[in-house]
């Protein structure tokens, strides 16, 4: 079933304890999430089992990728249920089947391009896929200020962007999504904005967003964009209504609705460190959070905390 785009009347509710693992230590810090054509959920995480697969009810299905990644960061799935996995510390993006077979790799594993000079890759973060051509748009990322375009076979076509805060420049392009079939929108995280470009890299528009860290598309008739906003920088820590939420917007950037407790505290509706998202055919939203990095690693004793959440679309 494919749902229509969310509206201001749409309601989302958190699903507590959604993911059911055979053993809790299988999983460490979800960094990203993708949903296939059967609404199975693929979680890229930083534990010993890098790709863990669940059905939409949260039942464990499979895992693969042990020992094959350095630092998982982003996962995207195409129309054929192939996966594109961005490993930032390995400086590579891989295309794999949903069973884990490597199809091709972009970038040389373990070899970084020169820092902030624009060549692919220096700590790439995420992939968007043009639905008609299969062209790949890759945000690059922590060690660059760049978007790269590749064809469906992994051949480099073009790149754009440079460090800075003017139009077409970036300060940590962290996530990227198609905006229709002819534009892409980039989560320009440390510039506190979303920038939209044509697929040729021509600047179209920008809108303010509070540290936008993740962006993804709805499925089918749902043409909205889903944007996760990171929490405030340390100097503003504890201030209410600054990030740690998901904003649903139309393709022009107009807010439709939002969810997540913006007042702080604890509970299943309170995000810790949203980092990536995916939407299923029922309009439910999966959010991966780097909760260990942002919170658990700073506790005494150090501990793993919730880093994968499902918000079910219950009405609208």
Q: What is the CATH number of the domain that holds 84?
A: 2.120.10.30
Name the pairing type of β-strands 41-45 and 30-35: antiparallel
Find the helix or strand (DSSP H, E) in which 61 lies: strand 60-64
Q: What is the pLDDT of residue 147?
A: 98
The pLDDT score that the predictor gives to residue 24 is 72
Identify whether 5 is part of a domain. Answer: no
Computed over every residue of the chain, the mean pLDDT equals 95
Residue 24 lies in a domain: yes
Number of domains present in the structure of the chain: 1
| pLDDT value for 163 | 98
- For a pLDDT cut of 90, what percent of the chain falls above it? 89
Per-residue pLDDT at 26: 79
Residue 295 lies in a domain: yes
Residue 1: pLDDT band with limits 50, 70, 90: low
Mean local confidence (pLDDT), 243-254 = 97
pLDDT of residue 288: 97
Q: Give the domain extent around 284.
A: 11-315
State the average pLDDT over residues 17-36.
90
Residue 197: count other Cβ atoms within 10 Å of its Cβ.
23
Tell me the C-alpha distance between 236 and 72, whole Å.
28
85 falls within a domain: yes
Q: Which of 17-21, 77-81, 143-147 has the lowest mean pLDDT?
A: 17-21
**pLDDT mean over 184-208:** 98
Which of 236, 232, 261, 234 minimizes the C-alpha distance to 246?
261
| Distance from C-alpha of 215 to C-alpha of 266, rounded to nearest angstrom | 25
Confidence (pLDDT) at 12: 97
The strands making up 60-64's β-sheet, listed across from edge to edge, are: 30-35, 41-45, 51-54, 60-64
pLDDT higher than threshold 90 for residue 123: yes
Task: Compute CA distances 197 → 13, 118, 129, 157, 194, whole Å.
Answer: 33, 18, 14, 16, 10
Residue 47 lies in a domain: yes
Residue 54 lies inside a defined structural domain of this protein: yes
Residue 1 lies in a domain: no
Bridge partners for 187 per DSSP:
175, 194
- For residue 305, the model assigns a pLDDT of 87
DSSP category for residue 293:
H
CA distances from 229 to 119, 192, 271, 276 (A): 28, 9, 10, 10
Distance CA 94, CA 83 (A): 8
End-to-end CA distance of the chain: 14
Report helix, strand or coil for 101.
coil
Predicted structure pTM score: 0.96
Task: Please say if the pLDDT value at position 253 is more than 80.
Answer: yes
* Under 8 Å between Cβ of 36 and 51: no
Backbone angles phi, psi at 200, to 5 degrees: -95, 0
- pLDDT greater than 90 at residue 316: no
The pLDDT tens digits of the residues spanning 259-310 come to 999 888 788 899 999 999 999 999 999 999 999 899 889 999 998 888 999 9
Instruction: Report pLDDT digits (tens) over 52-62.
Output: 999 999 999 99
Give yes or no for a cis peptide into 235 (omega within 30° of 0): no
Length of the chain equals 316
Summarize the confidence of residues 21-38 as an average pLDDT: 90
Above 90 in pLDDT, residue 104?
yes
Instruction: Give yes or no for residue 22 having a pLDDT over 90.
Output: no
Please tell me the predicted confidence (pLDDT) of residue 265. Answer: 79
Among 229, 127, 254, CA closest to 178:
127
pLDDT (0 to 100) of residue 315: 87
Residue 58, domain member (yes or no) = yes
Lowest mean pLDDT among 35-39, 61-65, 261-265: 261-265
């Amino acid at each position: 079933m494919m749902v229509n785009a969310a509206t201001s009347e749409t309601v989302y509710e958190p699903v507590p304890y959604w993911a059911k693992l055979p053993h809790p230590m299988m999983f460490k810090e979800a960094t990203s999430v993708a949903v296939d054509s059967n609404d199975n959920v693929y979680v890229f995480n930083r534990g010993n089992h890098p790709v863990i697969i669940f059905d939409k009810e949260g039942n464990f299905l499979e895992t693969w990728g042990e020992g094959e990644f350095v630092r998982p960061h982003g996962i995207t799935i195409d129309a054929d249920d192939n996966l594109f996995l961005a490993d930032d510390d390995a400086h590579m993006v891989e295309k794999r089947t949903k069973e884990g077979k490597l199809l091709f790799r972009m970038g040389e594993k373990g070899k970084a391009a020169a820092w902030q000079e624009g060549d692919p890759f220096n700590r790439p973060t995420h992939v968007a896929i043009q639905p008609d051509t299969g062209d790949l748009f890759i945000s690059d990322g922590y060690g660059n200020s760049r978007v790269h375009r590749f064809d469906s076979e992994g051949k480099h076509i073009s790149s754009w962007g440079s460090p800075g805060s003017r139009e077409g420049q970036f300060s940590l392009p962290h996530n990227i999504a198609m905006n229709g079939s002819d534009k892409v929108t980039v989560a320009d995280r440390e510039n506190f904005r979303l920038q939209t470009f044509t697929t040729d890299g021509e600047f179209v528009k920008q809108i303010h967003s509070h540290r936008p860290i993740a962006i993804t598309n709805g499925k089918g008739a749902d043409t909205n964009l889903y944007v996760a906003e990171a929490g405030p920088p340390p100097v503003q820590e504890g201030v209410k209504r600054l990030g740690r939420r998901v904003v649903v917007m139309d393709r022009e950037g107009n807010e439709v609705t939002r969810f997540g407790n913006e007042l702080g505290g604890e509970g299943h509706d309170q995000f810790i460190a949203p980092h990536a998202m995916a939407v299923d055919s029922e309009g439910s939203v999966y959010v991966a959070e780097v909760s260990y990095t942002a919170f658990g690693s700073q506790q005494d004793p150090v501990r793993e905390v919730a880093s994968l959440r499902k918000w079910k679309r219950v009405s609208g």
